[in-house]
Chains A and B, each alone.
Chain A
Amino acid sequence: MPLSPQLTSQFVRLRSLIALVLMTVALSLLSPNFLTADNGINILRQVSINMCLSIGMTLVILSGGIDLSVGSILGFAGAIAAGLVKNGLSIPGTDLHLQFTTSGAILAAVFVGALLGLHNGVAITRFRLPPFIATLGMLSIARGLAFLWTGGFPITGLGADFGFIGTGAWLGVPMPVWIMVAFAILFFVVTKRTRFGRHLYAVGGNECAARLTGLSVSRIKIAVYTLAGALAGVAGLIVTARLDSAQPNAGLSYELDAIAAVVIGGTSLSGGRGTIFGTVLGCLIIGVLNNGLFLLNVPPMLQYVIKGYVILIAVAIDQASAPRNRDSS
């Protein structure tokens, strides 16, 4: 492409946005039901869960890692919240029985998510497990804990207070959308404007150089996995509250949708390159695609095939335009 470097990089940055706009225009022409306020809100509500996971996943991938456990952590954290709200907590071996308020249960769920994320971070840094393996283990551990905690049965009937997180609305906008927007803005600022954000890019961009610059690589990685776990906890709350039920197998394979959104948003799996904004677009592209294919009555089996090719094409385009810095020396 005979474009100037500035123009090219501008184009690369906006590519996901252009794709999203084109999809929106096309679907508006194809389906009268697509471009309505209701459908817009609907799409946003549907993407909110994946958005929470994808934001955490972006941090992890920027640091040069991967997190396969967020779907399982989502399931376990949701079950924790539901169990605490409904039954409270009996401490085994004592007569103690703790009752939880709704906000107490919410905090506990996020805390448990963060704790399992911390577990990932420690396994990766202190015990030097590859992120893929450490979080693959956690994928199974957290899912198992969810089944143990629930005894394998859904916990239902959680009350209107708790349900508000999932089904409530403020100013006509559903709560999950507010939560998603808040976290997107928060982590947009964290990655762009804080020392932690810079350090995160540095660790993912070149771990050796980051260490020689005096950054505590381990501490940064542990923080990243802990945040990803906490955000999975938040996603678990939304899922549980929306359904008024905690399913022990909630969030099954959600980590793959999150990775897809991050990658479609232009974040490099090798770390150090990518943005939260890109991930937001990636989530929206997946959401619009799901919604559009449904409105157009595309058979569900075919939808999977189409989504798969969207991921492949998005990354293929990224690869083709990525700066090649093969060793020239």
Chain B
Amino acid sequence: MTSLLASNDGLLEATGITKTFPGVRALDDVSLRVRAGRLLALLGENGAGKSTLMNVLSGVFPPDAGTITLGRGKSVNFANPRAAQDHGIGIVHQELNLVPGLTIAENIWLGREPRTSAGFIDYRRLNADTAAILARLDLKISPVTLVGDLRVGQQQLVEIGKALSANARVLILDEPTSSLSAHEVEVLFNVIAELKKQDVGLVYITHKFEELARLCDDVVIMRDGRVVGEMPYEGLTRERIIQLMAGRESKDVFQKSAFEPGAELLKVENVSLTGSASGSAGRRLLVNNVSLTLRRREVLGIFGLVGAGRTELLETIFGLHPRRTSGNISVCGKPASFRSPADAIRAGLALAPEDRKRDGLILPMSVAANASLASLRRTLRGGFVSRRKESDYLIPYVDRFRVKTPSLDQLIVNLSGGNQQKVILAKWLATDPKILLLDEPTRGIDVNAKREIYAFIDELARNGLGLIVVSSELPEVLALSDRILVMCEGRKTAEFTRAEATPERVLHAALPDRAALAS
């Protein structure tokens, strides 16, 4: 095998990969080359297409166009992740895919268990092979420990061990260090160095640039589903990388109008949120001492990478985690202590959540029932819900947001993502809120609906609301916001006025720095 590779160090070559999801071109003519014994760092903002590309390469879903070739120009189509695995491509996903009720050994060899001649699982070999892998990872734990009993960092190492066990020729690591301790990171880096010596090709996705110096040979930078830079790492600076990741005019997205902000609506002081899990992970602060203010006719953008604590901050303000919250919140100058979302709604807040299907919509219900759910009182006639009154008062909102639906009785599940989001906006505006919290309001929405939603945000601010918009799309935050608050690892790391905010400065504040890594 090595002789074959020695003549050609290209292990995997992807050419012209294109992948479209409804309304979004996630990958646009992307090409990539993984070489033996080298580590290729794949960099880009959230939503740049990194994970989609890795999913295509590892057989999670097929590309719409483009080819993947292995070794010497053998073109392959992966029907499923197993097929990619059989071709020597291993992947460690960012989220863990382990069965908590099985042991480490059973997890690592799941679906590939060695068997005895009688057809039973050969536990002796299973555990011995696993012990060897654990030794490589410097994990001093018995192979028969239940995965559910491990810390998250250890689980991540088990996931890496699973990829090692398959003897992959190409190993993809998607933010593998996000929950590892300093020592575990060190062990992982040693394993990576060892793999490079064995001529394994690695693809490494990360937001921690300081890791690159230790490991990296080549860099590919993605933005908006395209590769915008491909170069050797040697001599590259952090500033140059950020410039390439961000480097796009935000002007073309949307032109915001400027109004004079009014009185203070919301003041959040030193708010923290502790984790819900028991043990060491539970004591971590998901939101760490964040303060902010919001005034009438103002849009406050909150930017941060996934996991920065943005969603948790909104949920905390909205009264969803009263028992784990500390700090002070006041609305219109009056101190507020929300015991539940109902309290927050009464005080004039509204929250459109990030994951519409999971947290926002009642999928089996109609458009009308979803839209009126937060303000059903207004539909009552003699104590009963009046369908006519309901549609009479909903129609202006539905019209205002130009919801495209054949009728109010249509099931919400049959609407497009953009129209579903508009129904959620209509639902909250019907409660007459003063403060609107929008978490990723344009996620999974096509370009035209996006523009409409930007215009609504602008219009609502003009009409006197205060809005907080959380987004992981940099141009969106830059275009919409009067002020931008940047979060990283639960903390507020910077706040910019519209004039001060440049893509580079905002992104810089959102990326974890060396000091944070060491702690």
Question: Taking CB as reference atom, which chain A residue is nearest B384?
Answer: A193
Cβ contact within 8 Å between B376 and A198: yes
Closest chain B CB from A125 CB (angstroms): 13
Interface residues of A in 170-196 (CB under 8 A from B): 189, 192-195
Contact of A195 among B344, B362, B377 (CB under 8 A): B377
| Contact of B320 with A205 in the complex, beta carbons under 8 Å | no
Nearest Cβ distance between residue A68 and chain B, in whole angstroms?
Answer: 24
Contact B369 A198 (CB under 8 A): yes
Total count of chain A residues near the partner, CB < 8 A? 30
Q: Is B444 an interface residue (CB 8 A)?
A: yes
Q: Does A101 contact B (CB under 8 A)?
A: no
Within the complex, which residue of A192, A201, A328 is in contact with B362, where a contact is CB–CB below 8 Å? Answer: A201
Q: Of the 9-residue stretches A149-157, A212-220, A228-236, which lies at the interface with chain B? A: A212-220
User: Within 8 Å of chain B (Cβ to Cβ): is A209?
Assistant: yes
- In angstroms, how far is the closest chain B Cβ from the Cβ of A12? 12
Give Cα A5 to B410, complex, Å.
10
A71: Cβ under 8 A from any B Cβ: no
B484 vs chain A, min Cβ distance (A): 25
Q: Are A206 and B376 also in contact (CB < 8 A) when A194-B384, A198-B385, A201-B369 are?
A: no
Q: What residue of chain A has the Cβ atom nearest to residue B413's Cβ?
A: A325
Which of the 9-residue segments B195-203, B222-230, B352-360 touches chain A?
Answer: B352-360
**Which of B22, B344, B363, B380 is close to A206, meaning CB atoms less than 8 Å apart?**
B363
| A213 in contact with B340 given A189-B384, A201-B364, A206-B362 (CB within 8 Å) | no
Q: Does A210 contact B (CB under 8 A)?
A: yes
Question: Is the pair A210, B345 in contact by a Cβ cutoff of 8 Å?
Answer: no
A-facing residues in B328-353 (Cβ within 8 Å)? 340-342, 344-346, 351, 353
- Given A212-B360, A329-B444 in contact, is the A202-B365 Cβ separation under 8 Å? yes
In the complex, what residue of chain B is closest to A206 when comparing beta carbons? B362
Interface residues of B in 384-425 (CB under 8 A from A): 384-385, 411, 413-414
Contact A195 B444 (CB under 8 A): no
B79 at the interface (CB under 8 A from A): no
A97 at the interface (CB under 8 A from B): no
Q: Does A273 contact B (CB under 8 A)?
A: yes
Chain A CB within 8 A of B21 CB? yes
Given A195-B377, A216-B340, A325-B413, CB of A205 within 8 Å of CB of B363: yes
In the assembled complex, how far is the CB of residue B321 from the closest CB belonging to chain A, in whole angstroms? 11
Cβ–Cβ < 8 Å partners of B414 in chain A: 5
A208 at the interface (CB under 8 A from B): yes
Say which residue of B360, B376, B383 sits within 8 Å of A209 (CB atoms). Answer: B360
Q: Is the CB of A214 within 8 A of B374?
A: yes
Q: Is B373 an interface residue (CB 8 A)?
A: yes
Contact A273 B359 (CB under 8 A): no
B341 and A212 within 8 A (CB): yes
Closest Cβ of chain A: how far from B344's Cβ, in Å? 8
What's the nearest-Cβ distance from chain B to residue A123, in Å?
21
Q: Does B383 lie within 8 Å of A194, measured CB to CB?
A: yes
A192 to B374 Cα, complex, angstroms? 17
Q: Does A323 have its Cβ within 8 Å of any Cβ on chain B?
A: yes
Q: How far is the CA of A139 from the CA of B484 in the complex (A)?
A: 57
Q: What sequence of 0s and 1s flags, for each residue 261-299 of chain A, a beta carbon within 8 Å of any chain B beta carbon?
A: 000000010001100000000000000000000000000
CB < 8 Å neighbour of A208 from B358, B376, B380, B411: B358
CA distance A170 to B414 in the complex (A): 48
Q: How far is the CB of A181 from chain B (nearest CB, A)?
A: 20
Q: How far is the CB of A187 from chain B (nearest CB, A)?
A: 14
Check: B361 CB closer than 8 A to any chain A CB. yes
Contact between B362 and A272, CB atoms less than 8 A apart? yes
Hey, which bits of chain B sit against chain A, CB under 8 A? 21-22, 318, 320, 340-342, 344-346, 351, 353, 357-365, 369, 372-374, 376-377, 380, 383-385, 411, 413-414, 427, 444
Closest 3 CB pairs of A and B: A205-B362, A214-B342, A214-B345
Offer 7 A-B interface pairs, CB within 8 angstroms, sorted by A. A192-B385, A198-B369, A198-B372, A212-B341, A214-B342, A268-B364, A329-B21
**A residues adjacent to B (C-beta < 8 A):** 5, 189, 192-195, 197-199, 201-202, 205-206, 208-216, 268, 272-273, 323, 325, 327-329
Given contacts A210-B373, A273-B364, 14 further A-B pairs with CB under 8 A are: A194-B385, A201-B365, A205-B364, A205-B365, A206-B358, A206-B361, A206-B362, A209-B353, A209-B359, A209-B361, A211-B320, A212-B320, A212-B351, A329-B22
